[in-house]
Amino acid sequence: MYDCIIIGKGPCGISCAIYLKRFNKNVLVIGSNYGSLEKASVIENYYGVGSISGLELAKKGEEQAKNLNIEVITDEVLEIEGLTVKTKTNEYNAKAIFLATGKTNKVNIPGINDIVVSYCATCDGFFFRKKKIALIGYGDYMLHEYDVLKNFTSDITVFTNENINSEYVNGKITKLFSNDNKKCVEVNNTVYEFDGIFIAANNDSLAISKHLGLVVDDNNKIMVENYKTNIDGIFAGGDAIGGLDQVSTSVSDGAKAAIEINKFLKEE
């Protein structure tokens, strides 16, 4: 049982871990990548570091945590249930969870904003019992969502850029749209009709917040008060809650959130 599991190993997550470790807390950091930071080719505006690539800075941060004997594992979180975090290979329990899951990944499929799609098999699968559904996505998270959806229906068509299974539909999705009560997926010139469409693009902030039932704002940022979400024991910070999308503010969020988490752990 960890005091706190931190999801995300970018600046916010690592900063939080370092502070909690200082408070003598038993923490675990789980992250599959460094999020938007690793896409920054040069960062020059983070005090004390000078010119550095985002990836290099992210690696330095992870190294720094490990040097302080903080456990950092590279794995993808597939589900959070209560205060249990499930990855592909393992399950971890904690007294608190800190979501430093970064920016919400936008799924850039033409038409996606004009129709209702679902981002959470666990939350919405039930509404599509014995219905015909599409699952658009990739990776372990898509497979996880597929497993969940199979509990509700056997009529699932998977659209993916990966050639895992011959039953999957490959190819670039050119459009999503509604037709009468049907949801349509157009790939090249073929149109597929469904009762519902599920997106499993990545296990990002949005998917996690939908799964957990966290309150988000119009930009899908997790709403917090002093880094506390609407669910007891679950905290969030950094780009996942909005703000400036800057290393400096994410690092500061991590530190401040650690102080709130430490208070929460004391009260427990």
Q: Should residue 68 be labelled a site residue for a second copy when binding is judged by CB under 8 A?
A: yes
Of the candidate spans 17-25, 145-153, 180-188, 219-227, the one that interacts with a second copy by CB under 8 A turns out to be: 17-25
Q: Should residue 69 be labelled a site residue for a second copy when binding is judged by CB under 8 A?
A: no
Q: Should residue 255 be labelled a site residue for a second copy when binding is judged by CB under 8 A?
A: yes
Q: Should residue 14 be labelled a site residue for a second copy when binding is judged by CB under 8 A?
A: yes
Select from 18, 134, 136, 201 the one that contacts a second copy (CB under 8 A). Answer: 18
Q: Should residue 235 be labelled a site residue for a second copy when binding is judged by CB under 8 A?
A: no
Select from 33, 105, 122, 252 the one that contacts a second copy (CB under 8 A). Answer: 252
Rg of the Cα atoms in the chain: 19
Q: Should residue 22 be labelled a site residue for a second copy when binding is judged by CB under 8 A?
A: yes
Q: Should residue 1 be labelled a site residue for a second copy when binding is judged by CB under 8 A?
A: no
Select from 77, 156, 247, 261 the one that contacts a second copy (CB under 8 A). Answer: 247
Could you list the residues that contact a second copy (CB under 8 A)?
A: 11, 14-15, 18-19, 22, 44-52, 57, 60-61, 63-64, 67-68, 244, 246-249, 251-256, 259
